[in-house]
Amino acid sequence: MNVSYDVGVVGAGIIGLAHAHHLARRGLKVIVFERHRRAQGASVRNFGMIWPIGQPLGDAHRLSRRSRDLWLEVMREAGLWSQECGSLHVAYHEDEAQVLSEFAAESAGQDRPCELWTPAQVAARFPAVVQNNLRAALWSPTEVAVDPRQVIVGLPAWLARVHGVEFTFGTPVLGFNLPRVFTPDGEWNVRRLVICTGADFRELAPAAFASSGLIPCKLQMMRSQAYGDRFRLGVHLCAGLTLRHYASFAHCPTLPSLIRRFDAETPDYRRYGIHVLVSQNEPGELTIGDSHVYGDEVDPFDDPRIDSLILDYLKTFLNVPGLAIAARWHGVYVKHPTEPYVVARIAPNVLAVTGVGGAGMTLSFGLAEKVVHE
């Protein structure tokens, strides 16, 4: 192609879109290459949760809070739906309530606002939460809901219209030797390249990632019918199993004994890496999940037993009227065993950004801002 671009971004998932946004805001001429007609990976298969509460205190949490603020700014400017719904962790056992208490104490004065609530406070604000044997809850106001399916279509249109970002969908990148980028439609002139291909990170730079330590993870999820205004949950909701999933709870002194109880009472939930989250979008659909099965061999076939385990646990903490599952799917992301994300310089003027694990939505705009700045 005769046109030259300052930066090419490979991948129109949320990490790629966030980079395109920050690059274009700096006045750079940006083109985004996406192999599909629209992104189909983890960016469209998730809860739509912006979830700072899951990030441990320190750099990761600060990055998630910055990303949250950027999300709200971008969604307002783009005219897309978002909701500052907050999150609620509910506890039905004393050890779960103790972990929540320890978490709240650690959070005090750390720019991680949260409160311990009584069952009466939960019932008054979120009556769909199961009240029987409810001991306590942790309320956090920082979490945000977006609709991934809306975002993955709406943000490219807005970036193109307002910021002049060019998108070439249905165009896989076959290779590069900057300033040349090779596609089935010909060569493109690009001065710099940012590769944001998620779980497909090896395809354009196999040597660079040969010993990266990144591990694929398969997740099974579901979505309910649309409730409209007939049932509004009003919050991102989870229960005890979530306390062992997120690194933000790792320092709570009671957590090891809680995990031992979980392992003894619910071994299948550990086997499949199940904890249960619920979010709700503007049409009122509930997104429910998820499981975490790690390993290079990702089974293309879903396990109905995993879905049943998820739904069984959901019933212990949420009353959903006439729940019917309208869609089931699985997603795949890659996760680094020790780092919250991976930014690799794989060639002169070429970066790859990947390995955000289950925090891709949460970290996206903050991480992209950091990468572009540095």
pLDDT of residue 21: 98
Question: With helix as H, strand as E and coil as C, how does the chain read?
Answer: CCCEEEEEEECCCHHHHHHHHHHHHCCCCEEEEECCCCCCCHHHCCCCEECHHHCCCCHHHHHHHHHHHHHHHHHHHHCCCEECCCEEEEECCHHHHHHHHHHHHHHCCCCCCCEEECHHHHHHHCCCECCCCCCEEEEECCCEEECHHHHHHHHHHHHHHHHCCEEEECCCCCEEECCEEEECCEEEEEEEEEECCHHHCCCCCCCCCCCCCCEEEEEEEEEEEECCCCCCCCCEEECHHHHHCCHHHCCCCCHHHHHHHHHHHCHHHHHCCCCCEEEECCCCEEEEECCCEECCCCCCCCCHHHHHHHHHHHCCCECCCCCCEEEEEEEEEEECCCCCCEEEEEECCEEEEECEHHHHHHHHHHHHHHHHHC
- Out of 22-26, 188-192, 269-273, 337-341, which region has the weakest mean confidence (pLDDT)? 337-341
pLDDT one-digit tens code per residue, 307-320: 999 999 999 999 99
Q: Judge whether 259 and 201 are in contact, CB under 8 Å.
A: no
Q: Judge whether 56 and 250 are in contact, CB under 8 Å.
A: yes
Alpha carbons 31 and 188: distance in angstroms, whole number: 10
Distance of CA 25 to the CA centre of its chain: 24
- Out of 21-30, 116-125, 143-152, 338-347, which region has the weakest mean confidence (pLDDT)? 338-347
Q: Higher model confidence: residue 205 or residue 284? A: 284
pLDDT of residue 297: 79
Q: Which residue has the tokens 């971004």?
A: 9
CA distances from 73 to 51, 67, 96, 147, 365 (A): 16, 10, 35, 15, 10
Residue 208 has pLDDT above 80, yes or no: no
Amino acid at 266: T
pLDDT one-digit tens code per residue, 216-260: 999 999 999 999 999 999 999 999 999 999 999 999 999 999 999
Residue 295 has pLDDT above 90, yes or no: no
pLDDT of residue 206: 81
pLDDT of residue 1: 63
Q: Please, which residues have CB within 8 angstroms of residue 114's CB and are 6 or more apart in sequence?
A: 53, 103, 104, 107, 138, 139, 140, 141
Share of the chain above pLDDT 70, in %: 99
Amino acid at 156: P
pLDDT band at 90, cuts 50/70/90? very high
Peptide bond between residue 56 and the one before it cis (omega within 30 degrees of 0): no
pLDDT of residue 219: 97
Q: Judge whether 373 and 66 are in contact, CB under 8 Å.
A: no
Alpha carbons 161 and 150: distance in angstroms, whole number: 16
Residue 296 has pLDDT above 90, yes or no: no
pLDDT one-digit tens code per residue, 98-125: 999 999 999 998 999 999 999 999 999 9
pLDDT of residue 178: 97
Alpha carbons 360 and 347: distance in angstroms, whole number: 24
Q: Judge whether 69 and 362 are in contact, CB under 8 Å.
A: no
Alpha carbons 178 and 1: distance in angstroms, whole number: 13
Dihedral of CA atoms 193, 7, 162, 371 in degrees, nearest 10, equals 60
pLDDT of residue 308: 98
- Give the chain's largest Cα–Cα span: 68
pLDDT of residue 212: 82
Average pLDDT over the chain, rounded to an integer: 96
pLDDT one-digit tens code per residue, 118-174: 999 999 999 999 999 999 999 999 999 999 999 999 999 999 999 999 999 999 999
Alpha carbons 53 and 55: distance in angstroms, whole number: 6
